[in-house]
Chains A and B, each alone.
Chain A
């Protein structure tokens, strides 16, 4: 695991930041990145579900760590939309002494981006969350916590949110007339949410403005080409970049969101390059999420099996019979 650079961040000053920016820019001109990654290479991504329950996910991308927790309850719907469920997002980050007041604005912007991408993009079928129209609907709240920030928090937050939405199971319901029966997990198996598509976002840093690039190309005759667009920028690279683009794509290759925020101007070929790179990287992240879900399911099964064996031993079942009956075992395991 990468060591956190708390000491450096604490004593950061404008002069040190300027030196870091200059170093990053000279590395880009030489065709390299400060941490020796390729232009279209992500940092080491690790998706994990730390608890045995299915409602917490943790995603690491290099030194950036984001967790997403999900909860749902039955509430009364909004009067203007009586047949649609409710999805809420909140983003939090523990404050340190180096954070400025702009951090609150960044978290608000990240919350708005998550709402636009997942709620506005129709990822979760909100009509499927309706139980009794006008009286009872499911309300889903996703709580994203940024544990460590070394750049590119937007992408990691989206990946964590998508992972927890895919993996979560809500309780089963039985509706008879106007009465709703909520079954615990030991009575009936919980059911997954209805997910239409899985958008995954990727941030890109545009290294320099087009005018500066043209001047540089005229000045230098080296065969080495400077980097133009880099994916997954770190904190230093985000500071040194002239502008940034966030592209969200889903598994089918469709573009769900394109956002170009402040900074210098960009051209259409750079946007196309970002969309192509995001389409190449999205299946990799999605396979990581699917593998983490399968590994978590396997771990849950093993833990349940060990609990069952321990209960057998505690109640003295093994002393009565040498081997349990296969029918009982099959029935219990299903």
Chain B
């Protein structure tokens, strides 16, 4: 960790003016991509991720189909212009494969797989702009796209990254804070029950008390963000869908 840089100033504000436990502003957009069953664009601060869902549909590779449950495939692409430096436009890289594996694990945990036997759900995630916490943003976008596709799910999932910078618990890290190599935990919890951990990953060397404290901080912050930024747009989107169905019903 770089000791010269001041990530939290004496007034308790971070580099972008947030409090340590404050998340970035998050906005959702549904239905911007045509030709897919569900899509969602998540903008969290400067990070922009667009996810689309195709399915449940027939399995493309018959050898991989399962008679009793649905299979989920995921494809994560990072745009060449997403980061600070222009990257090679190859579709597959180690980073995108790691993100794909994480999104797949969360989706398999939260979707009721037994409801769609012999089927396949395909998730495409496109990272349009990176600003730290990319894995968490991909998980959020993919789960909200599944909601838009009306796939049977246990709960909404909210993922975020928490870190420890100069002995201060910090929530929703940005690129500058991720670059400080501080201990970080990426965690996904249920929206309505933050004490339930859906997915979790940490790759830093800390004591177990620090892990517990960071998980607790993440759960509290998830509760606040879900109530403030996720519940309202989801309810509005559901009301719009019901209204559309009502109009179609009147037409019949």
Do A and B belong to a common assembly?
yes
| Interface membership of B211, Cβ < 8 A | yes
B208 near A275: Cβ-Cβ < 8 Å? yes
Evaluate whether A255 and B205 lie within 8 angstroms (CB atoms) in the complex, with A112-B98, A112-B101 already known. yes
Question: Shortest beta-carbon distance, B237 to chain A, in Å?
Answer: 25
Residues of B within 8 A of A116 (CB): 203
Residues of A within 8 A of B109 (CB): 243, 262-265
B190 near A253: Cβ-Cβ < 8 Å? no
The proximity string for B residues 227-241 relative to A, scoring 1 for CB distances below 8 Å and 0 otherwise, is 000000000000000
Q: Residue B185 contacts which of A253, A256, A258, A272 (CB distance < 8 angstroms)?
A: A258
- Count: A-B pairs, CB below 8 Å: 86
Question: Shortest beta-carbon distance, B204 to chain A, in Å?
Answer: 8
Evaluate whether A272 and B203 lie within 8 angstroms (CB atoms) in the complex, with A109-B101, A263-B109 already known. no
Question: Shortest beta-carbon distance, B222 to chain A, in Å?
Answer: 13
A276 near B216: Cβ-Cβ < 8 Å? no
Q: Residue B203 contacts which of A101, A120, A260 (CB distance < 8 angstroms)?
A: A120
B98 near A197: Cβ-Cβ < 8 Å? no
Nearest to B183 among chain A residues (CB) is: A255
The proximity string for A residues 235-269 relative to B, scoring 1 for CB distances below 8 Å and 0 otherwise, is 00000000100000010011111111111111110
Question: Shortest beta-carbon distance, B192 to chain A, in Å?
Answer: 12
| Interface membership of A210, Cβ < 8 A | yes
B211 near A258: Cβ-Cβ < 8 Å? yes
Q: Which of B159-211 contact A (CB under 8 A)?
A: 185, 190, 193, 195-208, 211
A259–B101 alpha-carbon span in the complex (Å): 13
| Interface membership of A132, Cβ < 8 A | no
A267 near B197: Cβ-Cβ < 8 Å? yes
A96–B229 alpha-carbon span in the complex (Å): 50
Q: Residue A255 contacts which of B97, B190, B207, B219 (CB distance < 8 angstroms)?
A: B207
Residues of A within 8 A of B106 (CB): 262
| Interface membership of A117, Cβ < 8 A | yes
A261 near B205: Cβ-Cβ < 8 Å? no
Q: Range of interface residues on chain A?
A: 20 to 34
A120–B202 alpha-carbon span in the complex (Å): 11
Q: Residue A260 contacts which of B98, B108, B197, B219 (CB distance < 8 angstroms)?
A: B197
A271 near B206: Cβ-Cβ < 8 Å? no
Question: Shortest beta-carbon distance, B182 to chain A, in Å?
Answer: 14
A197 near B205: Cβ-Cβ < 8 Å? yes
A121–B108 alpha-carbon span in the complex (Å): 28
Q: Which of B61-96 contact A (CB under 8 A)?
A: 63-64, 94
Nearest to B199 among chain A residues (CB) is: A260
Nearest to A211 among chain B residues (CB) is: B196
Q: Hey, which bits of chain B sit against chain A, CB under 8 A?
A: 63-64, 94, 97-98, 101, 104-106, 108-109, 185, 190, 193, 195-208, 211-212, 215-216, 219
Q: A121-B204, A256-B205 are in contact. List 7 more A-B contacts (CB 8 A).
A: A101-B64, A117-B203, A243-B109, A254-B207, A255-B207, A258-B202, A267-B196
19 residue pairs from A and B, CB less than 8 Å apart: A101-B64, A108-B97, A109-B101, A116-B203, A122-B205, A250-B205, A256-B204, A257-B202, A258-B202, A259-B202, A260-B198, A262-B104, A262-B199, A263-B109, A267-B197, A268-B197, A271-B212, A271-B215, A279-B208
